[in-house]
Structure 1
Amino acid sequence: MDSAMEDMYMGPTIPQVTLEYFLSSCLPPVDEEIFSKVYDNLKAKKVITKEGWDAMECDELEKRRADQGKESRKQRKRRKQNERRRKKEQNKEQVSQQRTPDGPGSANTPQQVDEPSQTSAGQPAATIHENDFFDPLTHCFNAVLDEANQVLVEEDHWREVLFKFRSNPRSSEATHESHKSDVYALLKESRAIKEPHAEDHESDVILPGEYRKDDNWVNQKENIRKLIGAVNHIMAYDLTRRFMFGITIEHKSTRFWFFSRSHAFVTCRVDLQKEAKQVISVILALGSATLHELGFDLTIERVFSGGISGSSLAMRTPGLYTLGTVANRDQLCHIVREHYDCKVHYRLLMKDAGSTLDDVPNLLTLLKCLKQVVKALQYMYSAGYVHRDISTRNVLYRYDVNGQISVHLCDLEYVKDVSQPREANQDVKMGTPHFIAVEVETGGYLFTSLSRSKATALHPSRALLLGSQWQNARNRQRAAGSRFVFNYLHDLESVWWIMVYTLFSKLPKGMVLEGERLKEHHAIRGQIFPHPNMSAERLLFLRDQDQRISYLDNLPNAFDSIGFLASLLGDYLQTQYELLEDKPEFPSGSCFADLHRTIFTDFLDETVYDKVVFSGGLCRVPPIPVEGPPPATRGKRKVGTEEVEKTSSSFAKEER
């Protein structure tokens, strides 16, 4: 049952690896001679025995649990009363020690030695606190590091152990809340940017750990949840972290974790006592690692600029919206919070990044920018990646010192590696609505021979055409058992949609559209670029040459040349879709080898459009003016003195 629940919780998300793989792939190698010396020294000092860690009371805990099962009801009640009484006495002693001038733990303060309490029946108390059970393990791990330091000095090694294990909580440098774990591996020399370094900061944590006294799937799940939360908390606020380690222990079941910004994995279970030698090998490998091998990016310097000033304010955030009060608590809906995690939003700041394509001054600049975008997509193709979110706002351009246009293709949040085939689910619809490829929008392949043959026999209604095309693509995928995946041609189609969108969103500077002509222009653009829903006209604009030309004929006469260029590029994309999707090797990367080069040499070459494309300034298409009086506002406004006098006089007349 435990393994089944664990598999259901873990799932395929976090893979398990052997401890040997963990040591060889994540940590530096440890010389066998050094390991033997450290292990022998630990045995000589009785830190480790044949049964495992000498300070751990695993057998004592199991014995007390067995004795607890033999107790009668009266004995169990008497034992619990004694435990509560003993706990109150300990709390009083701790308070009295804190009030002494020397404080707890000083030389003048007598140290209390915890002894197992006895019940009236003479049996030891069966309860051992979790912290008392695992506190000796911190000292055991530090003993391994101390012996490693000593052996490294004897062997004249230049590196030394950089951290210590501690159980006390550490503070955060930022204003966010700190995250508390059961055990930490903390750097000896702090990397914190705040002075003084009197406290342990989360910037020094290289390994958080969670432990539980009992080994069951509930405790395993809780340990995993807390460990992942701690690692995510630290790495989200510290950009110098490339990866981190972790450890979870449930009674004697031990696992080591590896977390990077791209993947994570965990080792198989290791018995803390019976396989203590393997645990020592991991601690020793961590102790011999450098800062770089512990996951720190030394090319990034942590700095602190400015300070917190001003008065403190409280911001109230709205919670869940309610529809009313429920009298019966059984009618309350259960909110599954485990599947809803708060996200950290980031903002990328770039110096002199430039302007978006929404602000291009003329069509020549637009074509030059699109050429560089295709070139950037060619570089991504050579690396096996697709962008999946090409839009006017994700392309930034600026002029360099020589007056040349420099383009940045940004917002790589949805970049995906498609060079290697994977057995995965179908790609979800992703992209900006105005520029998303039609196949991505419908979620299926629309240009295969099967789709084209069925398209000729469809009802002439455009709405039915779109629905039938979408259904044909779905049926083809179900019949072939294949899945729809995003490919390189979809990014190129998005570039083409940017060109078309600009033509229908701009006018030559000084041109005026009014009345019915302006309404017709907005209606055509709304059919090709609906938001947020798709339309049949958008699909026909790409597939049907006559339909495309009829729409482009409504553009201003100054846009005839670039409109013809957009129509030719649309024909080329449609042809490539039909050719590639019928190839047996589709959608492998070899199918798209010449696409990018052909587009920026045959369609976006400056010698092709430099002398024929309209080079004048552009302005935005004006919105359709609102007919009739403007709607009344519901906002508050100030009432003038004259209005007050008129209102009071009217009331006086009514009273008369």
Structure 2
Amino acid sequence: MATIHGDSPTRSRHTHSVQYQSSYVADSRMTLTHDIPMVPEVSLTTLMDSVLPTVPSNQINEVCEKLIANGRIETPNEKPKWECLPEDPKAAGRVKQEPKTFQFFEKIAQAIEESCSNTTESRLKLKVTGLTIPFSCRRNTSRPDGYFLMDTVNPPSTDKWSDISVPMEFENGDKEKDKIDNYAKVMWSMQHAMRGDPRRRYMHGFTCENTKARLWYNDRCDVVASEEFDINEDWRYLVRIILSILLATDAELGYDPSVVTHSPDNPGSEAVYDITIYNSKTKDPTVYRTIEIISDVGADSMVGRGTRVWSAQKVENGEPVGSVYVLKSIWVHQDRLTEHVVLEDIRAQQPTYSKYFLTPVDHGFAPLDPSDASIIFDTHSPLGRQRDLELTGKVLKTCPPPGWTPGIKTPSTSRNSVGRPGGIPNAPEEGFRDFRQLSNDPRQNYLIVFKERGKPVHELDKFTDVYTAIEGGWKGLHAVHICGYVHRDVSSGNILLLPPSDGHDTRGALMDLEYNKKVKDMTAPYDVRVGTEAFMATEVARMGHHRLSEMRSAVPKQEYTSFDVISAALDEALQSGSEQDPPRQGPPLPPFSYNPLHDMESIWWLCVWTMLWFVPPGRVTSEYQAAYRLVFSNGWDAKTRFISVADAFADRTSHLLSELRPLVWLMDLWRDSLNASYSISYQQHNTSETIQIDFKAIKFCYEQGCKFLLQLRDASKKLSFTLVPLSKALEPSTSVQAGTFAAAAPIGRFPGGSSRPAKKRRVDG
């Protein structure tokens, strides 16, 4: 019998929280290390062989011999030492700041370049400053201690992150706190370069505490650091690293050659990119020029999908022409079904549902080298050869020690991430992957162009538009289910409101199908998968079929009618003397796997989220903030109570306006229906190895959802006020003005002021 695997765990990311958007760099950096609290250590030689461009050994030996001959290396056969480093940095203590202490690295790089017989002068120069804030359109005022800077044709007045490779961090001391501080800073620099520049496929980094150094590497799958080496004793390793960087091409430094920066008219404005897509089927290249960024919040995390979305036009004869499209770039696992393939399958099986999806215009994978588009770049072969990293068994802690305080204040001139619905502080679960290990599955950069551009739910400001969009997303989701898939990532960002087009009225559409999975696919899961916490079904948040467990627990084992009966039963059990495992209510729970009910529950959560997230005029925002926190910022247990217990649902929605009570009442009815559907479906699989939801249940739940969404849309037509997102309403400068009606105090839990009692149900969950 084939092994049945459960789905991979889901965790929220700290870099998707409001803390990441802090005006303090130190606070933002903290979210990064909370997501990745430890980094695996790999052997230095395997890391260099895997991620640095190859330099012939005879060339390295020639450089080393010249360094010795020219006196750059003193006493090479006993205790080798760089001539420009007469004493260890540690001896300087805190009297001399790191940038000044470690300026010897500039001399080392210059000596290595001068010792190289390569006829072409390197475009890179190693720069140690620590006082320069490189220019970036993304919010960041960090000052890396050093980096390799691209020597551009027209040098700018200030260094730019887009021209920086191998950010470096130095510490005079070599205590544990010095190391952790360096690790956090170099990770921030690598991540910032990656998030701000879509050309970046990967980044190298470098840290040095006193004379102990490490090489770092980050791509969309992993963050790793080499084992320590001494820059004096192991000086040949340092030569190899610096020489490899100096001789590297742009592509070998991690720049994607199929993405070219097109200089904007205003030097300080957001860069524009010419992105070449090699069609998946024909391999024909088409160039698209970006117009504006629509969303880049996905690029904030060091590993993962790194999703970016732009508006873009085709380029012909060097100029943008024709229709404006939507271009999405996303790093997907190598053997995952691509979005255009899933869309083609759904459109072929269910053509009547086509209008509830976006229309692909072009699609393809970024090649390793544009000269051969058939060879696709992947993260496990960054230089075209399979990486072979050897773990040492050690991990490096990256979280700063207790008592560490925020540092630099960031000016408000540069922008934050685009495409997030905003946020209020929360405490998501630590981590989302075991970062002590390397990733198992490589990622490739997939690009797809869509015909339509819509507006995500979290950007809408009318409840009628909200429910129109969700209703279309619900119908698209049904097509996903009847074609045998589950979506697994329903959120406010991937359900859009589309304007009228191609004979269709304003409607909703479902997008982001790259995480679709066949329901019957029981193969091993991927090691990373991140959903959107607020919209997760409670079983997905727990990664277990808690509803089935609760259903079994609801069956009484024995009727206890008095305390005497309880005492007698316990005495009998104790006298038996048998030491057995606690009896189960049934067979072990099946491994967790997604099913269509989880997707449908996510739509329910999205509807609830809109009621708690959007603030009508004249309301006290603190009430909304408190209710939102109680439901969405208290973990899966709070969400489980909210959807399972009538009183919890009523309490958390009691602050809503009287005009919203019909919406609340409909959502409560839908809650009952959804819980009952889980109960009936799971009863049928009480003894099964897997939980499979049959088509009858899917059809029933879909039809019920259609009824509720239709009534929600009709009821919302009476609400004419403009909605304000809670994150904006909480801003000190924002005032939610009163609308055309007086803000009524919350009345009873349901219309008429009464509290409708919870229906009896067989499953409390």
Alignment TM-score, normalising by the size of structure 1: 0.51
Structure 1 residues 486 and 196: CA distance shift in structure 2, 3 A: same
1:283 is paired with a residue of what secondary structure?
helix
Aligned-pair CA distance for 1:166: 1.8
Q: 2:551: which partner in 1?
A: 452
Which has the greater radius of gyration?
A: 1
Q: 2:80: which partner in 1?
A: 52
Q: 1:161: which partner in 2?
A: 122
Q: 1:212: which partner in 2?
A: 171
Aligned amino acid, residue 19 of structure 1: L
Aligned-pair CA distance for 1:134: 3.2
Question: What is the alpha-carbon distance in structure 1 between the residues aligned to residue 513 and residue 155 of structure 2?
Answer: 39
Q: 2:281: which partner in 1?
A: none
2:62 to 14, 37, 45: 37
Matches within 5 A, 1:130-141: 134-141=102-109
Moved more, 33-42 or 476-485: 476-485
Answering whether residue 217 of structure 2 is matched by residue 258 of structure 1, we say yes
Q: 1:618: which partner in 2?
A: 714
Question: What is the alpha-carbon distance in structure 2 between the residues aligned to residue 501 and residue 600 of structure 1?
Answer: 21
1:373 to 477, 489, 499: 477
Question: What is the alpha-carbon distance in structure 1 between the residues aligned to residue 484 and residue 113 of structure 2?
Answer: 46
1:183 to 134, 139, 146: 146
CA RMSD, aligned part only? Answer: 6.2
Task: Provide Cα deviations, 1:85-111, integer angstroms capped at 9, x if missing partner.
Answer: xxxxxxxxxxxxxxxxxxxxxxxxxxx
Matches within 5 A, 1:331-370: 337=405, 345-348=416-419, 352-354=453-455, 356=457, 369-370=473-474
Aligned amino acid, residue 65 of structure 2: D
Structure 1 residues 375 and 182: CA distance shift in structure 2, 3 A: same
Answering whether residue 533 of structure 2 is matched by residue 430 of structure 1, we say yes
Aligned-pair CA distance for 1:602: 8.8
Whether the aligned pair in 2 keeps the contact of 1:371 and 1:600 (CA below 8 Å) is: no
Aligned amino acid, residue 492 of structure 1: D
How many corresponding residue pairs? 447
Question: What is the alpha-carbon distance in structure 2 between the residues aligned to residue 53 and residue 376 of structure 1?
Answer: 65
The higher relative CO (CA closer than 8 Å, separation ≥ 6) is in 2
Question: What is the alpha-carbon distance in structure 2 between the residues aligned to residue 294 and residue 618 of structure 1?
Answer: 56
Whether the aligned pair in 2 keeps the contact of 1:211 and 1:248 (CA below 8 Å) is: yes
Higher helix proportion: 1
Aligned-pair CA distance for 1:255: 0.8
Task: Provide Cα deviations, 1:623-656, integer angstroms capped at 9, x if missing partner.
Answer: 8xxxxx96899xxxxxxxxxxxxxxxxxxxxxxx
Aligned amino acid, residue 247 of structure 2: S
Task: Provide Cα deviations, 1:508-533, integer angstroms capped at 9, x if missing partner.
Answer: xxxxxxxxxxxxxxxxxxxxxx9676
Higher strand proportion: 2
Answering whether residue 601 of structure 2 is matched by residue 494 of structure 1, we say yes
Question: What is the alpha-carbon distance in structure 2 between the residues aligned to residue 126 and residue 369 of structure 1?
Answer: 59
Q: 2:644: which partner in 1?
A: 539
Q: 2:626: which partner in 1?
A: none
Question: What is the alpha-carbon distance in structure 2 between the residues aligned to residue 420 and residue 295 of structure 1?
Answer: 30
Whether the aligned pair in 1 keeps the contact of 2:644 and 2:675 (CA below 8 Å) is: no
Alignment TM-score, normalising by the size of structure 2: 0.45
Aligned amino acid, residue 247 of structure 1: F
Question: What is the alpha-carbon distance in structure 1 between the residues aligned to residue 484 and residue 202 of structure 2?
Answer: 26
Question: What is the alpha-carbon distance in structure 2 between the residues aligned to residue 348 and residue 199 of structure 1?
Answer: 29
Answering whether residue 261 of structure 2 is matched by residue 301 of structure 1, we say yes
Whether the aligned pair in 1 keeps the contact of 2:98 and 2:145 (CA below 8 Å) is: no
2:488 to 373, 386, 392: 386
Whether the aligned pair in 2 keeps the contact of 1:255 and 1:268 (CA below 8 Å) is: yes
Question: What is the alpha-carbon distance in structure 2 between the residues aligned to residue 128 and residue 340 of structure 1?
Answer: 20
Structure 1 residues 394 and 578: CA distance shift in structure 2, 3 A: farther
Unaligned runs of 5+ in 2: 1-32, 270-401, 421-449, 559-581, 613-629, 633-637, 647-661, 720-740, 746-765
Question: What is the alpha-carbon distance in structure 2 between the residues aligned to residue 25 and residue 576 of structure 1?
Answer: 50
Matches within 5 A, 1:69-468: 134-148=102-116, 150-151=117-118, 161-168=122-129, 169-174=131-136, 178-189=141-152, 197-260=156-219, 263-298=222-257, 299=259, 301=261, 303-304=263-264, 306=266, 337=405, 345-348=416-419, 352-354=453-455, 356=457, 369-375=473-479, 386-387=488-489, 389-390=490-491, 394-398=494-498, 399-403=500-504, 407-409=509-511, 420=524, 430-432=533-535, 437-439=537-539, 445-448=545-548, 451-457=550-556
Structure 1 residues 418 and 348: CA distance shift in structure 2, 3 A: farther
Structure 1 residues 233 and 440: CA distance shift in structure 2, 3 A: closer
Percent identity, aligned pairs only? 16
Aligned-pair CA distance for 1:534: 5.7
Aligned-pair CA distance for 1:17: 0.9
Aligned amino acid, residue 136 of structure 1: F
Question: What is the alpha-carbon distance in structure 1 between the residues aligned to residue 555 and residue 524 of structure 2?
Answer: 36
Structure 1 residues 48 and 480: CA distance shift in structure 2, 3 A: farther
